């Protein structure tokens, strides 16, 4: 399906981004800090989640941003959850939806209506899925990293937009490697998002 969202174009007004989170939201925080500068050209207009009481939503509320929560368990099935999420997103008229630590697979109602970009903590197409850092370590890779990619119907299979490599250290744990990857993700996201939005 072709998204019906207006493609981002050259415009003096900031591009509208809705961020989806499921947890801590340090990537969201980095983006919010970048957006303080009007010349950045991007505005986070709302933050959505699949669960309440997470730090990611608190970061948005602290800045007075609108938030919304669409829990899967409150819907009869994934299809109706997907439709409800698409409707919640549409209220904020995003030019782009950013999945930044959102741990649910998006369905056709969302993907058919919006341009969705995801940030993933591995060098895709290696190590897709919810345990990318653990899987990369278990495989013994010496280099991992992060990927910004367009979301399609598969799990982390969409076109790659940008990547950054991160060295794996001999004594790395899943936590230590993920922290260094997240530092790279924050930089990559802040650097690339305006370009992806034509700003």
Q: How far apart are CA 116 and CA 65, in angstroms?
A: 20
Strand 67-69 and strand 15-21: the pairing is: unpaired
From the candidates 75, 92, 120, 149, give the one annotated as an active-site residue.
Answer: 120
Q: How far is the CB of 118 from ligand GAR (least distance, A)?
A: 7
Is residue 120 annotated as a catalytic residue, yes or no? yes
- How near is the Cβ of 32 to ligand GAR at its closest, in Å? 11
**Of 91 and 179, which CB lies nearer to ligand GAR in the complex structure?**
179
Cα torsion angle, 106, 109, 110, 112, sign: positive
Least distance between ligand GAR and beta carbon 11 (Å): 28
Cβ nearer to ligand GAR, comparing 103 with 169? 103
Asked whether the bond before 125 is cis by omega within 30 degrees of 0, the reply is yes
Residue closer to ligand GAR by CB (options 9, 129) is: 129
Judged by CB, which is closer to ligand GAR: 6, or 42? Answer: 42
Position closest to ligand GAR via CB: 101
Cα 132–184–29 angle (5° rounding)? 100
Quote the CA–CA distance of 32 and 57 in Å, as a whole number: 12
Provide, rounded to whole angstroms, the least separation between the CB of residue 25 and ligand GAR.
5
Q: Please give the residue ranges that form the binding site for ligand GAR (CB under 6 A).
A: 23-28, 56, 100-101, 103, 119-121, 130, 132, 182, 185
Q: What is the largest CA-CA distance in the chain?
A: 48
User: What whole-number distance in Å separates Cα of residue 92 and Cα of residue 11?
Assistant: 18
Catalytic positions are 120
């Amino acid at each position: 399906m072709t998204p019906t969202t207006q493609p981002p174009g050259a415009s003096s007004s900031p591009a509208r981004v809705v961020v989806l989170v499921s947890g801590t939201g340090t990537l969201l925080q980095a983006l919010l800090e970048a957006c303080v500068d009007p010349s950045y050209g991007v505005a986070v207009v709302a933050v959505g989640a699949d669960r309440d009481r997470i730090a990611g939503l608190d970061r948005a509320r602290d800045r007075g941003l609108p938030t919304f929560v669409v829990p899967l368990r409150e819907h009869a099935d994934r299809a109706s959850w997907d439709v409800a999420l698409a409707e919640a997103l549409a209220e904020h008229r995003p030019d782009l939806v950013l999945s930044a630590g959102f741990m649910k697979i998006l369905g056709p109602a969302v993907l058919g209506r919006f341009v969705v970009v995801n940030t993933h903590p591995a060098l895709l197409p290696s190590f897709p899925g919810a345990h990318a850092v653990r899987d990369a370590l278990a495989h013994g890779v010496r280099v991992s990293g992060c990927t910004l990619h367009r979301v399609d119907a598969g799990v982390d299979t969409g076109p790659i937009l940008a990547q950054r490599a991160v060295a794996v250290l001999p004594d790395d744990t899943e936590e230590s490697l993920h922290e260094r990857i997240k530092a790279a993700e924050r930089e990559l996201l802040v650097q690339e998002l305006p370009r992806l939005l034509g700003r």
